[in-house]
Structure 1
């Protein structure tokens, strides 16, 4: 089983940061995150992945969920923005970005989550509750 760390970031307008994807003809959205490297804590991986994927320095505040998803153990962290300008980062996503395999970070209002093919789908219920506790 692969371990992953995922960041949950809300902006002051109550929108959540998602990574829109098109891969193998499928369009969907995820929260930014990726694999935990050897010697890295899940929180450290979360911060690194957010910088690599969406060019933002974040502070992981607390782990709010651990999920088994598609053979991965995923650690979800509520995060706070420290600095940066949101854009596709310079990590592997920026390098692999192409017409067939694209990545597009965007802020999505919680009311629009039903319109987004968010994976895993259970996050649609979790995210509004997390915004209330922030």
Structure 2
């Protein structure tokens, strides 16, 4: 296990970017992010992971939360879009994508956030708070 960096990105319509997943029969969503590589800063990992997972170049605005999840530190960053077209990126998720291990990035309106099985559950309130200007 290693530390993770996670990006929170909103579009001008008030929607947050989530990665929908289907794995081992479970359907859920996560915020885009992944492991911090040796020698990499959490901010740098966030930028890299957003490009690898969802094909978007972002900049980090600020860290909004660090939490312990299953024994790992997770760094959550509010990000701003610089460029790119949202799609499944060319990183590990794109390579592993299959009918059994499925990834789909999508924009979800904040008002529909409760309809999504977002994991970890504790970030739902954070996403809502940050999205509403907190």
Q: What TM-score bracket applies, with the shorter chain setting the length?
A: over 0.9
Q: Secondary structure at the match of 1:2?
A: coil
Tell me which residue corresponds to 2:14: 14
TM-score, normalised via structure 2 length:
0.97
Deviation for aligned residue 1:93: 0.1
The reply to whether residue 2 of structure 1 matches residue 25 of structure 2 is no
TM-score, normalised via structure 1 length:
0.97
The answer to whether the 8 A contact 2:5-2:74 is kept is: yes
Tell me which residue corresponds to 2:97: 97
Q: How far, CA to CA, are the matches of 1:109 and 1:14 in structure 2? A: 6
Deviation for aligned residue 1:124: 1.6
Q: How far, CA to CA, are the matches of 2:123 and 2:88 in structure 1? A: 22
Deviation for aligned residue 1:122: 1.6
The reply to whether residue 71 of structure 1 matches residue 71 of structure 2 is yes
Q: Which runs of 5+ in 2 are unaligned?
A: none
Deviation for aligned residue 1:69: 1.1
Tell me which residue corresponds to 2:115: 115
Tell me which residue corresponds to 1:128: 128
Tell me which residue corresponds to 2:49: 49
Q: How far, CA to CA, are the matches of 2:103 and 2:40 in structure 1? A: 25
Deviation for aligned residue 1:70: 2.1
Q: How far, CA to CA, are the matches of 2:22 and 2:115 in structure 1? A: 16
Which segments of structure 1 move beyond 2 Å, counting only runs of 4 or more? none
What CA RMSD, in Å, does the superposition of the two structures yield over aligned residues? Answer: 1.0
Q: How far, CA to CA, are the matches of 2:109 and 2:21 in structure 1? A: 17
Deviation for aligned residue 1:125: 1.2
Q: How far, CA to CA, are the matches of 2:76 and 2:127 in structure 1? A: 11
